[in-house]
């Protein structure tokens, strides 16, 4: 039997880990420096959390969830997205009582049973944030500015922020009706999926990728015409203030999101490297979700970015690993090996340098082959410790760049000497 990972669920291999770490570290820095705290919810939830939260008729709930019965015949689902579980936790643990506004972030895997393709996996990772407890347009502005800030800290350039609004619940219903009326005599030009959506989830017709459907909705009613005064004002404030912050965005009248809970501002971040499925992230307001799930009547806004998709974008823009300094300690004999481990530990703890790696020999190989390994790993400094050196209580420090001559130093001076050599 040949074992393989489950279809659409990839291994993260050691040679690719650097970019994940880089992204996650930059994201955490952005979040923590903005007063956002991490929240981790379980992978599994009661299925009802998603049916209620995301919406019974959405694509996710009707065909994309990994749902199964446990041994007690409870229906459980592997989370397909992060917001519904966070709202569940927010209510369950009464976070509102701790603070009127909760600023939360998360990083973790999500699961959807879609057909795997580029940038779309069955286990995929998201970085996301939520601001729960504010109806102010300034929460939307904070969130969109944060997304833009993340793109900048990842050093992504060819991204675009697309912005729209769906209006409040009443506006959304009004807009859905206007759209349905408009589509009524055009259903023959729509794809099968969209004909079904007309009945259950008409807004989704707007983001169908089918060319004929795109043609039909080109002249469809604009959501702006369905907005109440308050929602017009909210959207205007969001747009004018993001513009004042110098954040590039474009209005996209047909931008809707595939989850029922969105109301008000919605946005998407796209990148040219992703092709047809070009979103690397998306978000928006969900002012009714907390109340709908049994909590207080508080407004909220958030987003999620797809890590795999951002990585595709980063690689397309030429991202490459930062080279940290490598120090290789080559040793011969058990006593020297033990001393080598001690020296390695004192360098790791004594020198603060980003990406510094101290390698020791874990095999039983000759000095010569260790030197070959040092060369292969592009070590900047090699520390040699054989039987002679051990007797003298000294090591040889060799600068592989050839800049400095080889020196002999006693064990206690190694850290200082290495620090000098790295400058």
Q: Does residue 208 touch Zn ion according to CB under 5 A?
A: yes
Q: What is the spatial distance between Cα 37 and Cα 104, in angstroms, rounded to a whole number?
A: 5
293 and 88 in contact (C-beta within 8 Å)? yes
Q: Does residue 210 touch Zn ion according to CB under 5 A?
A: yes
Least spacing, CB of residue 261 vs Zn ion, in Å: 16
Least spacing, CB of residue 16 vs Zn ion, in Å: 35
Taking phi over 0 as left and psi of -120 to 50 as alpha, with beta for the rest, 6 belongs to beta
Single out the segment in contact with Zn ion by CB under 5 A; choices: 34-42, 82-90, 171-179, 344-352: 171-179
20 and 12 in contact (C-beta within 8 Å)? yes
Query: What is the SS3 assignment for 26?
Result: helix
Q: Choose, by CB under 5 A, the member of 96, 191, 357, 415 that binds Zn ion.
A: 191
Q: Choose, by CB under 5 A, the member of 9, 17, 173, 228 that binds Zn ion.
A: 228
Single out the segment in contact with Zn ion by CB under 5 A; choices: 53-61, 113-121, 192-200, 332-340: 192-200
Least spacing, CB of residue 199 vs Zn ion, in Å: 14
Q: Does residue 213 touch Zn ion according to CB under 5 A?
A: yes
Q: Which is nearer to Zn ion, 42 or 230 (CB)?
A: 230
User: Angle between the 414-422 and 334-350 helix axes, to the nearest 10 degrees?
Assistant: 60
Q: Does residue 168 touch Zn ion according to CB under 5 A?
A: yes
Least spacing, CB of residue 193 vs Zn ion, in Å: 5
326-331/357-360 β-pairing:
parallel
Q: Does residue 167 touch Zn ion according to CB under 5 A?
A: yes
Q: Which is nearer to Zn ion, 238 or 381 (CB)?
A: 238
Q: Which is nearer to Zn ion, 191 or 407 (CB)?
A: 191
Q: What is the spatial distance between Cα 326 and Cα 202, in angstroms, rounded to a whole number?
A: 57
Single out the segment in contact with Zn ion by CB under 5 A; choices: 144-152, 205-213, 216-224, 305-313: 205-213
Per-residue binding string, Zn ion, 117-156, x by CB under 5 A, is ----------------------------------------
Please give the angle made by the CA atoms of 186, 191 and 192, to the nearest 5 degrees: 110
Q: Choose, by CB under 5 A, the member of 104, 143, 194, 358 that binds Zn ion.
A: 194
If we measure between CA atoms, which residue out of 304, 149, 143, 159 comes closest to residue 238? 143
How is residue 358 annotated by DSSP? E
Least spacing, CB of residue 204 vs Zn ion, in Å: 9
395 and 408 in contact (C-beta within 8 Å)? yes
Q: How many residues does the chain have?
A: 423
Q: Choose, by CB under 5 A, the member of 139, 231, 298, 379 that binds Zn ion.
A: 231
Query: What is the SS3 assignment for 25?
Result: helix
Q: Does residue 389 touch Zn ion according to CB under 5 A?
A: no
Q: Does residue 232 touch Zn ion according to CB under 5 A?
A: no
102-111/37-38 β-pairing:
parallel
How is residue 242 annotated by DSSP? H
Which positions touch Zn ion (CB under 5 A)?
167-168, 171, 191, 194, 208, 210, 213, 228, 231
């Amino acid at each position: 039997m040949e074992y393989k990972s489950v279809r659409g669920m990839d291994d993260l291999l050691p040679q690719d880990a650097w970019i994940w770490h880089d992204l996650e570290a930059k994201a955490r820095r952005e979040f923590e420096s903005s007063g956002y705290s991490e929240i981790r919810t379980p992978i599994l939830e009661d299925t009802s959390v998603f049916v209620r939260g995301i919406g019974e008729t959405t694509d996710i709930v009707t065909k994309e969830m990994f749902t199964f019965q446990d041994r007690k015949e409870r229906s459980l689902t592997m989370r397909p997205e992060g917001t519904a579980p966070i709202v569940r936790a927010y209510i369950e643990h009464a976070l509102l009582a701790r603070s009127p506004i909760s600023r939360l972030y998360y990083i973790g895997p999500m699961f959807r049973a879609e057909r795997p393709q580029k940038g779309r996996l069955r286990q995929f990772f998201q970085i996301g944030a939520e601001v729960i407890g504010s109806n102010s347009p300034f929460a939307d502005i904070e969130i969109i500015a944060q997304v833009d800030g993340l793109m900048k800290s990842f050093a992504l350039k060819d991204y675009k922020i697309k912005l729209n609004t769906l209006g409040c619940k009443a506006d959304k219903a009004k807009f859905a009706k206007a759209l349905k009326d408009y589509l009524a005599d055009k259903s023959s030009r729509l794809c099968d999926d969209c004909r079904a959506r007309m009945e259950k989830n008409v807004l989704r017709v707007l983001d169908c990728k089918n060319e004929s459907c795109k043609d039909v909705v080109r002249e469809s009613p604009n959501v702006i015409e369905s907005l109440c005064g308050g929602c017009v004002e909210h959207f205007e404030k969001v747009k004018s203030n993001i513009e004042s912050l110098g954040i590039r965005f474009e209005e996209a009248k047909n931008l809707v999101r595939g989850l029922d809970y969105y109301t008000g501002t919605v946005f998407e971040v796209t990148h040219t490297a992703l092709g047809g499925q070009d979103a690397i992230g998306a978000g928006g307001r969900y002012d009714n979700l907390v109340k709908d799930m049994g909590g207080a009547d508080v407004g909220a806004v958030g987003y999620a970015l797809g890590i795999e998709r951002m990585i595709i974008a980063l690689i397309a823009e030429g991202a490459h690993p930062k080279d940290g300094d490598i120090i290789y300690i080559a040793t011969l004999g058990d006593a020297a090996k033990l001393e080598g481990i001690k020296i390695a530990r004192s360098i790791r703890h004594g020198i603060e340098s980003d990406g510094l790696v101290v390698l020791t020999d874990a095999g039983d190989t000759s000095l010569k082959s260790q030197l070959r390994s040092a060369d292969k790993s592009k070590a900047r400094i090699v520390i040699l410790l054989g039987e002679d050196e051990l007797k003298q209580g000294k090591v040889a420090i060799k600068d592989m760049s050839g800049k400095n001559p080889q020196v002999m130093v006693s064990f206690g001076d190694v850290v200082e000497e290495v620090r000098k050599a790295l400058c």
